[in-house]
Amino acid sequence: MDFKKLISHCKEYGFIFQSSEIYDGLAAVYDYGPLGTELKNNIKQYWWKSMTQMHQNIVGIDAAIFMHPKTWKASGHVDAFNDPLIDNKDSKKRYRADQLIEAYAEKIEAKIKKDVDKAAKRFGDSFDEQQFRTTNQRIIDRQVKIDYAINTMNDFLAKEDMVGLKNLIEELEIACPESGSRNWTDVRQFNLMFSTQLGNIAGEESKLYLRPETAQGIFVNFLNVQKSSRQKIPFGIAQIGKAFRNEIVARQFIFRMREFEQMEMQFFVRPGEELKYYDYWKSTRMDWHKSLGTPSDHLRFHDHENLAHYANAAVDIEYQYPFGFRELEGIHSRTDFDLSKHEELSKKKLQYFDPELNENYVPYVVETSIGADRMFLAQISEALQEETVPDAKGNDSTRVVMKFNPAIAPVKAAVLPLLKNHEGLVNAATDLFDTMKTRFQCQYDEKDAIGRRYRRQDAIGTPYSITVDHQTLEDNTVTIRERDSLNQERIHKEEVPDMVGAATNINKLL
Ligand code: GAP
């Protein structure tokens, strides 16, 4: 589905609104509407249960957003959590230098794709894309340009060479998308943390940061949790919570936000065993995504080219968003970097006594870190479809439908009396609604013709619509319509709650 249509669908049906819209919005900040909140809660619940309920050795916490300022010194965020920024002197617009270079590469890639699509049309079934890409001289030349731009950029980023980045932008003749000019400032580093002041004390000492990741709340509580929950290594701590980053270029809807939510899990292991658990979490997390029905070809691993100095392995799970493959989740083997740094700055021991080895050590950590909002966007992108279906008279008609996995659908069932002015039908429908509302989210809807009500439920992804009609009053049966197949079946009304409950239960995914 076209990305603009997806965004307007999210607004029209109450999934996502721009923050402070009446004041023309606040860039890269979004509010979740009634259905968006339900969907996001279901995603978070599925993650939480998969991590904590399904693993005896993973427990959850909910740490505060504010932390002691030294936390961020220890974690490296004060000194190194920067983006390389560049301003265009004519438009006065600010950009991330790396994103300007990536956009340059994407433009060339779009040209390649155009050529590939044209050739595919021309050659039909006999077309071999791989062969075409490796033998067509124009495509080869373009690929060389892309590789040069990206590889050189990665080198400069790794060396934190800001002069090199500026020179590369000039060499590639990249112009400001707004003014079209190449009148650039130097590239400089810009810290992404938001800060505020504690109480009435002025100065650096009282500078507080809004956490840019939830992970540090887990690291500083490592021993508290281990001792209070009597966990033995290997064990994990999971957390869901808000994180804040002063993203400079905020694009692509809820993909890159300034206030967002992370679902993170830090898994503490014996030094030397981290890569075994890294592999375990890599495949476990990929399976988790697929268990929701996301097709394999919409997901892929992407190994980090430049490992952070504290990591000895790192991979992203990327999802094919409407704007291309992008990072959805990160799995990082972070060695003992964070705990050791916290030991150093706090001067408190953060070590574990391993009874089997009879020794103390600082555990190594494998983390899985996923943005709840990016997961939400992936699920919306996957679910939202426009398709042709037969209408009541058997003619073709288009419907907009959200094919969520029923376990995460915001509304599980809709109860629809055939007529709204018929007391018997309304009472029977209300009774059925009342027997279900304590078990899962349902909607009661009596407005408009039944066909339009079905379409409304399709558009918000409700897996089951239950119609109460005149026959219900005679034999207590109702029609239950399934969203994807459009199958309609008559069943006894007393069977409905158990049937819908079983088919939409989140535990089915576990
Ligand atoms: N503790 C590790 C960490 O924070 P990260 O790769 O910076 O790693 C982890 O972030 C995940 O958080 C990303 O994979 C992404 O899903 C999400 N995320 C990061 N920045 C985001 C942003 N500005 N808006 C929405 N989600 C974001």
**How much is the pTM?**
0.90
Give me ligand 1 centre to Cα 373, in Å.
Answer: 10
Beta strands in 90-206 (DSSP E): 94-96, 188-191, 195-197
Give me ligand 1 centre to Cα 264, in Å.
Answer: 10
Closest ligand 1 atom to residue 258 Cα is 23
Ligand 1, from 19, 211, 369: best to mutate by most atoms within 8 Å of Cβ? 369
CATH class of 82-190: alpha beta
Residue 283 is which amino acid? S
Q: What is the 3-state secondary structure (H, E, C) of 355-415?
A: CCCCEEECCEEEEEEEEHHHHHHHHHHHHEEEEEEECCCCCEEEEEEECCCCCCCCCCEEE
Ligand 1, from 281, 318, 325, 327: best to mutate by most atoms within 8 Å of Cβ? 327
Over range 64-80, report the average pLDDT. 94
Strands 235-244 and 58-61: parallel
Give me ligand 1 centre to Cα 330, in Å.
Answer: 8
Q: Quick check: 375 and 257 in contact, CB under 8 A? A: no
pLDDT at 394: 83
Over range 37-55, report the average pLDDT. 98
- pLDDT per position as a tens digit, 380-395: 999 999 999 988 788 8
pLDDT at 96 over 80: yes
Strands 235-244 and 207-209: unpaired
Over range 449-467, report the average pLDDT. 97
Closest ligand 1 atom to residue 371 Cα is 16
Give me ligand 1 centre to Cα 371, in Å.
Answer: 6
pLDDT at 201: 64
CATH dotted code for 411-508: 3.40.50.800
Positions of CATH 3.40.50.800 in the chain: 411-508
Give me ligand 1 centre to Cα 473, in Å.
Answer: 54
Residues 6+ apart with CB under 8 A from 415: 429, 432, 433, 436, 442, 443, 444, 445, 466, 468
pLDDT at 307 over 90: no
pLDDT at 207: 87
Closest ligand 1 atom to residue 212 Cα is 4
Closest ligand 1 atom to residue 245 Cα is 23
DSSP secondary structure string for all residues of 189-251: EEE---EEE-TT--SGGGEEEB-S-SHHHHHHTHHHHHHHTT--SSEEEEEEEEEE---SS--
- CA–CA dist 456, 233 (Å, integer): 50
pLDDT at 198: 82
Measured by CA distance, the residue closest to atom 2 of ligand 1 is: 369
- CA–CA dist 338, 354 (Å, integer): 19
Q: Say if residue 78 is exposed, middle or buried (CB neighbours under 10 Å; 0-12, 13-18, 19+).
A: middle
- CA–CA dist 435, 92 (Å, integer): 60
Positions of CATH 3.30.930.10 in the chain: 33-75+192-388
List residues near ligand 1 (CB under 6 A): 213, 215, 245, 247, 256-257, 260, 262, 264, 327-330, 367, 369-371, 373-374
Q: What percentage of the chain exceeds 70 in pLDDT?
A: 99
pLDDT at 205: 67
Ligand 1, from 211, 260, 375: best to mutate by most atoms within 8 Å of Cβ? 260
Give me ligand 1 centre to Cα 225, in Å.
Answer: 24
H or E element at residue 429? helix 423-436
Closest ligand 1 atom to residue 250 Cα is 23
Q: How confident is the model at residue 344 (pLDDT cuts 50, 70, 90)?
A: very high
Measured by CA distance, the residue closest to atom 17 of ligand 1 is: 371
pLDDT at 274 over 80: yes
Q: Residue 234, preceding bond cis, omega within 30 degrees?
A: yes
In terms of residues, how long is the chain?
510
320 by DSSP, 3-state: which?
Answer: strand
Strands 413-417 and 442-444: parallel
pLDDT at 315: 98
Over range 18-38, report the average pLDDT. 97
Give me ligand 1 centre to Cα 315, in Å.
Answer: 13
pLDDT at 200 over 90: no
Closest ligand 1 atom to residue 214 Cα is 1
Positions of CATH 3.30.40.230 in the chain: 82-190
Q: Quick check: 106 and 146 in contact, CB under 8 A? A: no
Over range 404-426, report the average pLDDT. 97
Closest ligand 1 atom to residue 247 Cα is 23
* Angle (nearest 5°) at CA 179 between 103 and 149: 25
Give me ligand 1 centre to Cα 6, in Å.
Answer: 22
CATH dotted code for 33-75+192-388: 3.30.930.10
Closest ligand 1 atom to residue 332 Cα is 2
Give me ligand 1 centre to Cα 295, in Å.
Answer: 23
DSSP secondary structure string for all residues of 474-494: HH-EEEEEETTT--EEEEEGG
Measured by CA distance, the residue closest to atom 19 of ligand 1 is: 371
Measured by CA distance, the residue closest to atom 7 of ligand 1 is: 213
What would the two tokens of residue 124 be? 């039909």
Give me ligand 1 centre to Cα 329, in Å.
Answer: 7
Q: Quick check: 103 and 368 in contact, CB under 8 A? A: no
Give me ligand 1 centre to Cα 466, in Å.
Answer: 40
pLDDT at 202: 63
Give me ligand 1 centre to Cα 69, in Å.
Answer: 21
- CA–CA dist 279, 221 (Å, integer): 25
Strand order in the sheet with 58-61: 58-61, 235-244, 259-269, 364-371, 324-333, 313-321, 299-303
Query: Cα(first)–Cα(last) distance of the chain, in Å?
Result: 29
Measuring CA to CA, how many Å separate 132 from each of 109, 119, 245?
14, 8, 42
